[in-house]
Amino acid sequence: MIFTQDLDGLLRNLGREFFISDIFYVPSIISWAKKKNLTLSEPAQPMKLITENDRLIMMMQAEISDELLDGIINGLSVRWAVRDVAADVDKRLNSIEKRIAWYFLKEYARTKENLAGDELLEDQWAMTEIEKLGFFRK
């Protein structure tokens, strides 16, 4: 089990980079979204970027199962194979921090108009940004 609040410093640093005003942790994104009458992009989506009072806010599930995060990264690997069969996404995103950071950026990418809701373009944008932020430096 991944306790996202344990990664709060990392997530808030990412938030500052992309003008996300705050991060809130909820027990269940699905329940939270139902209460707010919001649609999730994926059935088990662990984060949701919203706009509230002209501010960007990331809502995040407080606990994410390892299996859920692995499933998200496996989905990325399948989509990425269409683009680059030689790349090993699992090896690049080889830590919980990198995986959560990538998904945080992927969720942000869903709001970018120029990506037009294209999953592969969103993946590419998130991967480029995580690289620019130095996550892959040794």
The answer on pLDDT for 82 being more than 80 is no
Rounded Cα–Cα distance for residues 95 and 33 (Å): 28
Q: Over 80: is that where the pLDDT of 85 sits?
A: no
The pLDDT value recorded for residue 39 is: 86
- Banded model confidence at residue 86, pLDDT cuts 50, 70, 90: low
CA angle 36, 33, 12 (to 5 degrees): 105
> Residues near 91 by Cβ (< 8 Å), separated by ≥ 6?
none
With a cut of 80, say whether residue 133 has pLDDT above it.
yes
Q: CA 71 to CA 55: how far, in whole Å?
A: 30
Is the pLDDT higher at 90 or at 86? 90
Interval 49-59: pLDDT, tens: 999 999 999 99
Q: Is the pLDDT of residue 97 over 80?
A: yes
Specify the higher pLDDT residue, 84 or 114. Answer: 114
DSSP 72-120: HHHHHHHHHHHH-TT--HHHHT-SHHHHHHHHHHHHHHTT-GGGTT-HH
Distances in whole angstroms, Cα of residue 100 to Cα of each of 35, 45, 73, 80, 113: 25, 12, 10, 17, 23
What φ, ψ does residue 115 adopt, rounded to 5°? Answer: -95, -10
What's residue 138's pLDDT?
61
Percent of the chain past pLDDT 70, that is, above it, reads 96
